[in-house]
């Protein structure tokens, strides 16, 4: 019985994805002079744009029913919205200098499906549904998406003996900070990773200056390698509970090599932590 229900659920998901692929998406036009408002039937839990020349702003602290879209000149992209009830909306977004419409009231009928499949048999179906609602599943999906984006928070990197450690992006989502990290091996010798830690440090002023270090334990790590081969690049994501820093504090990424001395400490200003993407 469990196998039958699991198979049925996977077929259901496949059919939803197939119907999405065959669907002709509506286009929403925006520019950088005016805000285009989108009102949804349920509060917005997540809004994602596919290109950096589009920005969709919504309240991430307190779920609300509307979001604001702006665009810069460039190629068309897409906008994915997930409501608090799990319903999904997808649109093409495009830049247009003259806008004919500034407000969109989106009906529930425009939803392309639900994030979580629904089942009729309570006991076994609950176990299958957990595959789609489990926090790990959400982490993996969102981290994978972040690794495909070209968005950057700044040029933050440090190198040593052909090894380059970079912090590409910091993204805030659902009370957590996602650190997108890159390790590049430009040397001719493989790099065996011992650990990569993230901590906050405070420098106290006074007659005796001391350095306080507090480790930030991640809620989740995605695609962390054990080895970075010569001439290769590895990118990963660390998910940390949301935090902010005062002016006398900073974040330090510490990369440590196993059985080696190519260790790197990358210092990150508090301004990047307090102003994530």
d(CA 40, CA 28): 14
Chain centre to alpha carbon of residue 122:
32
Separation of alpha carbons 148 and 50, rounded Å: 9
Q: Provide mean pLDDT across the span 11-37.
A: 65
Task: Specify which residues 183 forms β-bridges with.
Answer: 165, 234
Which CATH fold topology does 156-274 show? Immunoglobulin-like (2.60.40)
What is the pLDDT at residue 125? 45
pLDDT tens digit sequence for 87-138:
889 899 999 999 999 999 988 888 888 776 544 444 444 444 444 445 777 8
User: Is residue 264 within 8 Å of 159, Cβ to Cβ?
Assistant: yes
Cα distances (angstroms) measured from residue 86 to each of 111, 130, 203, 225: 10, 14, 45, 33
Per DSSP, the three-state class of 1 is coil
Instruction: List the chain domain ranges.
Output: 2-148, 156-274
* Pairing outcome for strands 211-215 and 191-203: antiparallel
Q: Rounded to an integer, what distance in angstroms lies between the CA atom of residue 20 and that of residue 17? A: 5
Neighbours of 120 (CB within 10 A): 7
| 129 phi and psi angles, rounded to 5 deg | -60, -30
**Alpha carbon distance 265, 257 (integer Å):** 12
Residue 25 has pLDDT above 70, yes or no: no
Digit-coded pLDDT (tens) for 127-167: 444 444 457 778 888 888 888 888 888 889 999 999 999 99
Query: Exposure pattern of 198-225 as b/e (b: 16+ CB <10 Å)?
Result: bbbbeeeeeeeeeeeeeebebebebeee
CB 169 within 8 A of CB 146: yes
Secondary structure string (H, E, C) spanning 170-208: EEEECCEEEEEEEEEECCCCCEEEEEEEEEEEEECCCCC
Closest CA to 240 of 253, 228, 257: 253
**Between 113 and 55, whose confidence is greater?**
55
> Do the Cβ atoms of 194 and 239 come closer than 8 Å?
no
What residues does 49 pair with on adjacent strands? 79
pLDDT tens string 207-264: 555 567 788 888 899 989 899 999 999 999 999 999 988 888 999 999 999 999 999 9
């Amino acid at each position: 019985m469990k196998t039958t229900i699991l198979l049925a659920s996977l077929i259901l998901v496949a059919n939803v994805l197939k119907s999405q692929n065959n669907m002709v998406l509506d286009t929403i036009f925006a520019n950088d002079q005016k805000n285009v408002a989108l009102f949804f039937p349920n509060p917005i839990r997540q809004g994602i744009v596919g290109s950096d020349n589009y920005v969709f702003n919504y309240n991430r602290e307190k779920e609300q029913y509307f979001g604001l879209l702006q665009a810069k000149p460039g190629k068309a992209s897409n906008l994915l919205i997930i409501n608090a009830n799990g319903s999904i909306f997808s649109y093409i977004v495009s830049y247009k200098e003259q806008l004919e419409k500034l407000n969109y009231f989106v009906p529930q009928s425009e939803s392309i499906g639900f994030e979580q499949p629904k089942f009729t048999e309570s006991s076994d179906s609950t176990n299958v549904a957990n595959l789609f609602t489990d926090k790990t599943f959400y982490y993996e999906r969102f981290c994978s998406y972040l690794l495909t984006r070209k968005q950057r928070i700044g040029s933050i990197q440090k190198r040593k003996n052909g090894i380059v450690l970079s912090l590409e992006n910091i993204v805030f989502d659902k009370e957590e900070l996602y650190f997108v990290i890159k390790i590049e091996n430009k040397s001719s010798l493989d790099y065996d990773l011992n650990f990569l830690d993230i901590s906050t440090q405070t420098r106290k002023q006074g007659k005796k200056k001391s350095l306080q270090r507090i480790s930030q334990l991640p809620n989740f790590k995605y695609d962390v390698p054990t080895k970075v081969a010569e001439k290769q690049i590895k990118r990963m994501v660390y998910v940390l509970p949301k935090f902010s820093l005062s002016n006398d504090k900073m974040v330090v990424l510490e990369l440590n090599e196993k059985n080696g001395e190519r260790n790197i400490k990358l210092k990150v200003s508090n301004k990047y932590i307090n102003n994530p993407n």
